[in-house]
């Protein structure tokens, strides 16, 4: 068997495509495979599908293919432009690559598989390619796969934001809480992000009226955005975000009080941690503080009581929250008086949890995937690339291969 014949079979090239010759360049460790087409070869029109179009002229194009062992391999191909009776002169499609890509399909598939597991910069080093070329592949496949997405069954969503890099810029994520996958990711964290999702939902056969439950934090942007875009959906305010607001009020009380009780300095951690997570010494210290009738200790009681809300039955929860609000409002602690107004105003969404049981903590799995996506996108500044990586890792997209 000749080397050209071997390569012909290995590349699975069929007539009229033919390996013409190959050259191995030792110093640069490159294998250059030259492919041509048989004289008189006929090709389908890439635009209308008309079969058996004759070649009009040809041009040489180059694709990078999978490595041949450790050697970088290029296909140099004499590709025809065909003459179609309907469409005129068109560049013929080739079976091993997408129209505008400089990589063969097999190499793209390898890059996509690696991208799920390795940072893109590491893949670039491994393949000896520029990372911008790899990002182009990732964006291309993600965009194509998203075009095929079907959101017609989506009925429960959770909204959350994540910082893109060092906390300066944000992306908003919309997650299907039942299928546990990211449906939509976009830059920003304002109400417009929800509006953008609504358009994306419709573009993927989803229906606004199908969306029955939404889970999110209490931020005005998401509240207003969802009320406008999904007026019929019932809203659950994520319990972890709500408890965080209570913790913030507690910490404000502590910071105010440490001006007269300097011994409170550095105790933030003791009050914010759940009692079960404290060491023996930390617990002792906390007990000591609590026995001093400090305002902070009072605030701490309120926080523990608020957390216990979520241990109530659905029937008891309404009265429990009402009592808690009355207690907090009358506590004389200004941060809690303010917080009570917020909680009272949004009590329906807080209590909705007892029926929907939705939380954004349910997205913890997805959040860890998003963190992984950030790590894999590190070293690249574009939010667009980060979003593509989020879809790749947490979107459960179907790329059309197993």
Burial class (CB in 10 A: 0-12, 13-18, 19+), 151: buried
Tokens of 216: 């999110």
Q: How far is the CB of 58 from Zn ion (least distance, A)?
A: 18
Alpha carbon distance 31, 65 (integer Å): 10
CA 274 distance to own-chain centroid? 30
- Binding part of the chain for Zn ion, among 87-95, 138-146, 168-176, 231-239 by CB under 5 A, reads 87-95
- For 267-315, what is the HEC assignment? CHHHHHCCHHHCCHHHHHHHHHHHCCCCHHHHHHHHHHHHHHHHHCCHH
Q: Which of 75, 84, 127, 373 lies at the binding interface for Zn ion (CB under 5 A)?
A: 84
* Least distance to Zn ion, CB of residue 52, Å: 11
Nearest to Zn ion of 84, 211 (CB atom): 84
By CB under 5 A, is residue 48 in contact with Zn ion? Answer: yes
Residue 54 CB, shortest distance to Zn ion, in Å, is 12
Q: Considering the rule CB under 5 A, would residue 50 count as an interface residue with Zn ion?
A: yes
How many residues form the binding site for Zn ion (CB under 5 A)?
A: 7
Shortest gap between Cβ of 87 and Zn ion (angstroms)? 3
Q: Which is nearer to Zn ion, 48 or 179 (CB)?
A: 48
By CB under 5 A, name the one of 29, 42, 66, 87 that touches Zn ion: 87
Q: Closest Cα to residue 389, out of 368, 374, 402?
A: 374
Q: Which residue lies nearer to Zn ion by CB, 53 or 358? A: 53
- Compare residues 49 and 95 and give the one whose CB is closer to Zn ion: 49
Specify the residue, 90 or 189, whose C-beta has the smaller distance to Zn ion: 90
Q: What are phi and psi of 162, to 5 degrees?
A: -140, 145
- Applying CB under 5 A, which of residues 22, 45, 173, 302 lies at the interface with Zn ion? 45
| Shortest Cβ 17–Zn ion spacing (Å) | 20
Give the shortest CB-80-to-Zn ion separation in angstroms.
14
Nearest distance, CB of residue 56 and Zn ion, angstroms: 12
- Minimal distance in Å, beta carbon 95 to Zn ion? 18
Q: Does 83 bind Zn ion (CB under 5 A)?
A: no
Q: Judged by CB under 5 A, does residue 122 bind Zn ion?
A: no
Contact range with Zn ion by CB under 5 A, out of 50-58, 131-139, 185-193, 302-310: 50-58
* Strand partners for 195: none
Q: Which is nearer to Zn ion, 50 or 256 (CB)?
A: 50
The residue (of 92 and 366) whose beta carbon lies closer to Zn ion is 92
Strands 213-216 and 156-163 turn out to be parallel
Least CB distance to Zn ion at residue 46 (A): 8
Binder among 9, 28, 38, 47 for Zn ion (CB under 5 A): 47
Look-up of token digits 């951690």 = 269
Which strands sit side by side in the sheet containing 181-187, from one edge to the other?
A: 181-187, 170-176, 156-163, 213-216, 234-237
Q: Is the peptide bond before 394 cis (omega within 30 degrees of 0)?
A: no
* Nearer to Zn ion among residue 51 and residue 311 (C-beta): 51
Query: Mask: binding to Zn ion, 1-20, rule CB under 5 A, as x and -?
Result: --------------------
**Judged by CB under 5 A, does residue 86 bind Zn ion?**
yes
The yes or no reply on residue 92 touching Zn ion (CB under 5 A) is no
CB closer to Zn ion, 42 vs 344: 42
Q: Which of residues 229-248 bind Zn ion (CB under 5 A)?
A: none
Nearer to Zn ion, 6 or 89 (CB): 89
Which positions lie near Zn ion, rule CB under 5 A?
45, 47-48, 50, 84, 86-87
């Amino acid at each position: 068997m000749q080397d050209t014949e071997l390569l012909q079979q290995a590349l699975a090239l069929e007539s009229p495509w033919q390996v013409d010759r190959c050259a191995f360049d030792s110093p640069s460790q490159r294998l250059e495979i030259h492919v041509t087409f048989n004289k008189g070869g006929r090709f389908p029109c890439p635009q209308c599908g008309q079969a058996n179009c004759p070649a009009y002229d040809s041009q040489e194009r180059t694709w990078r293919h999978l490595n041949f062992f450790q050697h970088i391999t290029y296909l140099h191909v004499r590709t025809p432009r065909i003459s179609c009776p309907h469409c005129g002169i068109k560049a013929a499609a080739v079976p091993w690559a997408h129209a505008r890509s400089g990589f063969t399909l097999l190499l793209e598939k390898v890059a996509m598989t690696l991208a799920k597991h390795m940072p893109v910069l590491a893949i670039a080093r491994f393949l000896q390619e520029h990372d911008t070329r790899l990002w182009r592949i990732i964006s291309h496949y993600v965009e194509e796969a998203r075009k095929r997405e079907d959101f017609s069954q989506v009925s429960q969503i959770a909204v959350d934001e994540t910082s893109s890099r060092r906390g300066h810029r944000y992306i908003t994520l919309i997650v299907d809480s039942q299928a546990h996958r990211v449906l939509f990711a976009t830059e920003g964290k304002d109400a417009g992000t929800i509006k953008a999702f609504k358009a994306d939902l419709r573009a993927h056969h989803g229906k606004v009226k199908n969306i029955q439950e939404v889970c999110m934090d209490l931020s005005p942007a998401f509240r207003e955005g969802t009320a406008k875009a999904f007026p019929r959906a019932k809203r659950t305010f994520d319990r972890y975000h709500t408890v965080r607001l209570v913790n913030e009020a507690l910490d404000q009380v502590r910071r105010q009080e440490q001006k007269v009780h300097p011994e409170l300095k550095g105790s933030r951690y003791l009050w914010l941690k759940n009692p079960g997570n404290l060491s023996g010494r930390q617990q002792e210290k906390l007990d000591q503080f609590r026995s001093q009738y400090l305002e902070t200790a009072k605030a701490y009681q309120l926080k523990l009581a608020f957390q216990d809300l979520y241990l109530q039955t659905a029937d008891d929860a309404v009265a429990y929250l009402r009592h808690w609000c009355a207690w907090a409002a009358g506590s004389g602690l200004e941060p809690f008086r303010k917080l009570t107004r917020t909680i009272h105003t949004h009590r329906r969404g807080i209590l909705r949890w007892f029926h929907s049981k939705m939380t954004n903590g349910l997205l913890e799995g997805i959040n860890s995937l998003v963190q992984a996506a950030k790590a894999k996108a590190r070293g690249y500044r574009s939010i667009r690339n980060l979003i593509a990586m989020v879809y790749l890792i947490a979107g459960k997209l179907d790329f059309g291969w197993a």
